[in-house]
Amino acid sequence: MNAALAIADLRVHAGDRAVLDGVTLTAGEGEHISVVGPNGAGKTTLLRCLIRACRPASGSIRVFGKDLGAYKPKELARLVGYVPQGDRSLAPFTVREFVMMGRYPYLRAFSPPASSDRDAVERALADTGMEPFAERAMPTLSGGECQKAFIAAALAQEPRILLLDEPTTFLDPGYQDEVARLLTRVTRERGATVVAVTHDINAAALASARIFALGAGTVVYAGSARAFMDNAVLARVYGREFLLAPHPRTGTPLIVPEAPPWAP
Amino acid sequence: MGAVNPGRRLAVLAVCALAVALAAPWIGYGATPPAAAFAPFSGTADAEIFWRFRVPRVLLGFLAGAGLAAAGAAFQAMFRNPLATPFTLGVSSGAAFGAALSIQLGLPAAILWLPGGAVCALAGALLAILIVYGLARSHPERSIAVLLLAGVALSFFFSSLLLFLHYLADFTRSFLIVRWLMGGLQKTDGFAGVLALAPFVASGSAIILAFTHELNLLATGEDLAASRGVGVRRVQAVLFFAVSLMVGGIVALCGPIGFVGMMVPHMCRLAVSPNNRLLVPASLLAGGAFLAACDAFARTIIAPAEIPVGVITALLGGPFFLWLLAGRRRRDRVPGEDPA
C-alpha cells in the first residue's frame, strides 16, 4: 500500500511544553484512519501541522512521498482538504459562495471560475445534499447544515486526503449518523484518504480501518480498530475501563454507557 | 432587492457613483454657468473656480473616499472584525502626530511640490507602519492578534504625543492642529494634490482587488484559508503594506476623515454583497461617491463658509447606515453577525 501520508517523529512545542512529542503515523491511499485520545492530547495540533498552520519543531511529514514543506500552498491544497472543528463564527457568504472558496487552489486572480470549478461545486453540493441550501447565508444554517457546507467546500477542493476535526461532535444523533454515512460514501466514491480526529470512538471503530490513539503528545496505540476496543487498550488511552457490548450486526465491541443502579 | 443579482446591483452603484462625480463640481457657492465649464482656459472667474478648485476637489474627495472604503473592507476581512477601520493599526495617529509636529515646529510650508504638513504626516504614518509590522513579525504564530494590539497601543501612544504637542501649542497652532484633525478637502488648489494621491490609491486599490479571493478566505479564518492554499503570512504582509501605505497617503493629504472607511464597506455589504469579489469594487465606488457628495454638502450648507468634510461624513452617514440596518434586520445578512 502506498503511503498517502507518512508522519515520522513529529514534535511541536508551545513555549516550553511539548504538544506533540514524537508522533509517527501513516495512512495508505484510500484508507480511513481515526485519531482519538483525551482532550489536550494534541490531535488538533497534528491536523494543523498537516495544513501548515502550525510549524513543527522537528520530525518529517511526507504527503504522497514528497516533503510537506516542498509543496507550494495551492499545490498542497489540491491534495489535502480540511474540515475544522465545529465552533466557528461565520462570515455571511451564501453556501454556494462558501463552497466555491474550496476551488481557490484552482483559480487565478481576476479571472472568474471556470466551468470545471462550477461543476465541482455543484457535485459537492449534490453529494452532501446541500443543493436546497445553496443560496442560504451561512450564518442562518443549523449546526448540521453548516457542517455539511464545510464538508461540501472541502470536497469541492477535490483533495486526495481529507482531514476532519471532530466532524460529528456538535451534531444531534440524526446528523451524526447522516454525516458519518456521507463521509464514508463520498470518500469511498472519490477514493480519498480520510484522517478523522474524533471523540466518538464507537463511530471510529465502525468506520475506520486503523485507529491511532494519542496521549500527552505521543502515540499510545496504533493498530486495527477492532483490537482498539479492548479494555486493556482503552485503559491505557483514557485511564479507565468501559462497559463494552458487541455491535448487533458486525460484532465490533462498542462502548455502552453504564446504567445507574436505580435504572429500571 | 434580494431578487436582483449582486452583479447588477454593483452596476447600478457604478452608474450612481459616476453621476455623483459628474454632478458634484457643479455644486457650491454660486451657480456655475455651463459655458464656463466647457471653456477651461477662458480665464473667467467661473471657469477658474470650476477647473482650479471644484474639479480637483471632487477628484481628490473621490480618490480619498474610494481608498478609505476599500482599505476598510480589506481590514475588516483580514481581521475578521466588523469594527476594523483603515485607522485601526495606528496609521492615522502616526500621521496626525507628524502633521502636528510640523505645525508646532513651523516647518516649511512646502517640501518639493507637496505641503510640508503632508510630507511630515506621511513620515509619521510610515513610522507607525514599520513599528507595527516589526512587532507583528516577532510573533509569527499570532501575527493578526499582535498586529491589532500593537496597532491599537501605538494609536494611543501617538495620540498622547499629539495631546502633549497640542498642549504646548499656542492659540494659532492649536487651531491649525484641530483643523488638520477634522480632515478636509477645502485647501485644494489645482491638481497637485490629486496627482500626489492618485499613485497611492491606484496601487493600493489594485493590490486589494487582486487579493479579493484571499480576503474571502481570510474572512473564514486563517486555518481554513491556509488549508485552501492561501499563503496566509505572505498575503497578510502584502495587504498590510498596500493598505497602510494607501491610508497613509490619504491621511497625509486629506487628514483623518472618519466614518467612510468603516461604514461604507458595511453599507455595501448590506446593499450589494458580503463577497469581497463584489464588495471591494462596490466600496471603491460608494466610498468615492459618498465622500464627494459629503464634501459638496459641506461646502454649501453654511455657504459661503465651509465645514470640514470630516464633520459631515458621520453626520450624514450615521443616520443613513442606521436606516439601512433597520431595513435589513429581518434579512439574513447582518455584518459581523454570529450564528445563533
CATH at residue B79: 1.10.3470.10
Interface test with A, best of B209, B212, B228, B276 (most A CBs within 10 A): B228
pLDDT, tens digit (0-9, with 9 covering 90-100), for A200-243: 889 899 888 899 999 888 999 999 988 999 999 999 888 889 99
Beta strands in B261-322 (DSSP E): none
- The span from the CA of B96 to the CA of B110, in Å, is 17
pLDDT, tens digit (0-9, with 9 covering 90-100), for B167-190: 888 888 888 888 888 877 877 777
Torsion sign over Cα B219, A160, A141, B1: positive
Q: For residue B61, what pLDDT is reported?
A: 93
- The span from the CA of A121 to the CA of B6, in Å, is 19
Compare CB distances from B227 to A51, A90, A107 and report the shortest one's residue: A51
Other C-beta atoms closer than 10 Å to the C-beta of B56 total: 20
Using CB atoms within 10 A of its CB, is residue B319 exposed (0-12), middle (13-18) or buried (19+)?
exposed
Compare CB distances from A53 to B211, B220, B222 and report the shortest one's residue: B222
- Please report the number of interchain residue pairs, chain A to chain B, with beta-carbon separation below 8 angstroms: 91
Q: Which is it for strands A243-246 and A80-83: parallel, antiparallel or unpaired?
A: unpaired
**At residue B19, what are phi and psi to the nearest 5 degrees?**
-60, -45
Compare CB distances from A82 to B209, B224, B232 and report the shortest one's residue: B224
Q: For residue B114, what pLDDT is reported?
A: 65
| Grid cell of B307 as nine digits | 465645514
Q: For residue B339, what pLDDT is reported?
A: 38
Q: In chain A, whose CA is at the least distance from the CA of B336?
A: A91
Q: For residues B97 and B158, is the Cβ–Cβ distance under 8 A?
A: yes
**Which residues, given as ranges, of chain A have pLDDT below 70?**
1, 86-89, 109-110
Contacts of A174 (CB under 8 A, 6+ apart): A144
What does each C-alpha distance from A256 to A211, A228, A241, B104, B143 come to in angstroms? 19, 15, 11, 77, 45
Which helix or strand (DSSP H or E) is residue B335 part of? none
Q: Check residue A78 and report its DSSP letter.
A: T
Contact state of A92 with B274 under an 8 Å Cβ cutoff: yes
Evaluate the omega torsion of the peptide bond into residue B304 and state whether it is cis, within 30 degrees of 0: yes
In a domain, B336, yes or no: no
Contact state of B210 with A97 under an 8 Å Cβ cutoff: no
How near does any CA of chain A get to the CA of B74, in Å?
14
Q: Where in chain A is the domain with CATH 3.40.50.300?
A: 1-79+161-166+191-264
- The span from the CA of A225 to the CA of A230, in Å, is 10
In percent, how much of chain B has pLDDT > 70?
A: 90
In a domain, B335, yes or no: no
A74 in contact with B, Cβ within 8 Å: yes
How near does any CA of chain B get to the CA of A195, in Å?
14
Q: For residues A26 and A7, is the Cβ–Cβ distance under 8 A?
A: yes
Distance of CA A212 to the CA centre of its chain: 13
Interface test with A, best of B214, B227, B270, B279 (most A CBs within 10 A): B227
In a domain, B64, yes or no: yes
What does each C-alpha distance from B102 to A251, B109, B116 come to in angstroms? 82, 9, 7
Interface test with B, best of A13, A49, A76, A104 (most B CBs within 10 A): A104
In a domain, B16, yes or no: yes
pLDDT, tens digit (0-9, with 9 covering 90-100), for B307-335: 888 888 888 878 877 877 777 554 444 44
A78 in contact with B, Cβ within 8 Å: yes
| Grid cell of B46 as nine digits | 467661473
Contact state of B229 with A76 under an 8 Å Cβ cutoff: yes
Contact state of B223 with A51 under an 8 Å Cβ cutoff: yes
Compare CB distances from A84 to B209, B224, B335 and report the shortest one's residue: B224
What does each C-alpha distance from B219 to A91, A223, B12, B248, B323 come to in angstroms? 6, 39, 26, 24, 26
State the Cα torsion B155-B161-B166-B169 to the nearest 10°: -150
HSE-up of residue B207 (Cα within 13 Å, Cβ side): 20
In a domain, B1, yes or no: no
Q: For residue B291, what pLDDT is reported?
A: 93
In a domain, B333, yes or no: no
Compare CB distances from A91 to B209, B219, B222 and report the shortest one's residue: B219
Q: For residue B332, what pLDDT is reported?
A: 46
Contact state of B274 with A93 under an 8 Å Cβ cutoff: yes
Q: Return the CATH architecture of domain A1-79+161-166+191-264.
A: 3-Layer(aba) Sandwich (3.40)
Collapsing DSSP states into helix, strand and coil, what is residue A85?
A: coil
Contact state of B223 with A137 under an 8 Å Cβ cutoff: no
Q: In chain B, whose CA is at the least distance from the CA of A104?
A: B228
A253 in contact with B, Cβ within 8 Å: no
Contact state of A53 with B219 under an 8 Å Cβ cutoff: no
How near does any CA of chain B get to the CA of A205, in Å?
27
> Measuring CA to CA, which residue among B136, B154, B155 is closest to residue B145?
B136
Buried b (16+ CB within 10 A) or exposed e, B135-158: bbeeeeeebbebbbebbeebbebb
A96 in contact with B, Cβ within 8 Å: no
Contact state of B220 with A101 under an 8 Å Cβ cutoff: yes
A159 in contact with B, Cβ within 8 Å: no
Torsion sign over Cα B161, B163, B167, B172: positive
In a domain, B97, yes or no: yes
CB contacts of A141 in chain B (<8 Å) are 339
Q: For residues A91 and B274, is the Cβ–Cβ distance under 8 A?
A: yes
A114 in contact with B, Cβ within 8 Å: no
- The span from the CA of A128 to the CA of A14, in Å, is 37
CB contacts of A90 in chain B (<8 Å) are 220, 338-339
What residues make up the domain containing B195?
Answer: 6-327
Q: Please name the amino acid found at residue A214.
A: L
Using CB atoms within 10 A of its CB, is residue A184 exposed (0-12), middle (13-18) or buried (19+)?
middle
Cα distance from N-terminal residue to C-terminal residue, chain B: 25
Contact state of B337 with A139 under an 8 Å Cβ cutoff: yes
Contact state of A146 with B228 under an 8 Å Cβ cutoff: no
In a domain, B170, yes or no: yes
Buried b (16+ CB within 10 A) or exposed e, B203-234: ebbebbbebbbbbbbbbbbbbbbbbbbbbbee
Q: In chain B, whose CA is at the least distance from the CA of A106?
A: B229
State the Cα torsion B103-B106-B109-B113 to the nearest 10°: -80
The total of structural domains in chain B comes to 1
- The span from the CA of B180 to the CA of B198, in Å, is 21
Q: For residues B59 and B194, is the Cβ–Cβ distance under 8 A?
A: yes
**Which residues, given as ranges, of chain B have pLDDT below 50?**
1-2, 330-340
Q: To 5 degrees, how large is the angle CA B183–CA B279–CA B4?
A: 125
Contacts of A250 (CB under 8 A, 6+ apart): A206
Compare CB distances from B213 to A53, A107, A157 and report the shortest one's residue: A107
CB contacts of A48 in chain B (<8 Å) are 223
Q: Which is it for strands A210-215 and A32-36: parallel, antiparallel or unpaired?
A: parallel
Q: For residues B259 and B313, is the Cβ–Cβ distance under 8 A?
A: yes
A56 in contact with B, Cβ within 8 Å: no
- The span from the CA of A127 to the CA of A120, in Å, is 10
Which helix or strand (DSSP H or E) is residue A191 part of? none
User: Contacts for A41-45 with beta carbons within 8 Å, 24 or more apart?
Assistant: A41/A214, A41/A215, A41/A216, A41/A217, A42/A12, A42/A214, A42/A216, A42/A217, A43/A165, A43/A197, A43/A214, A44/A85, A44/A165, A44/A197, A45/A12, A45/A19, A45/A20
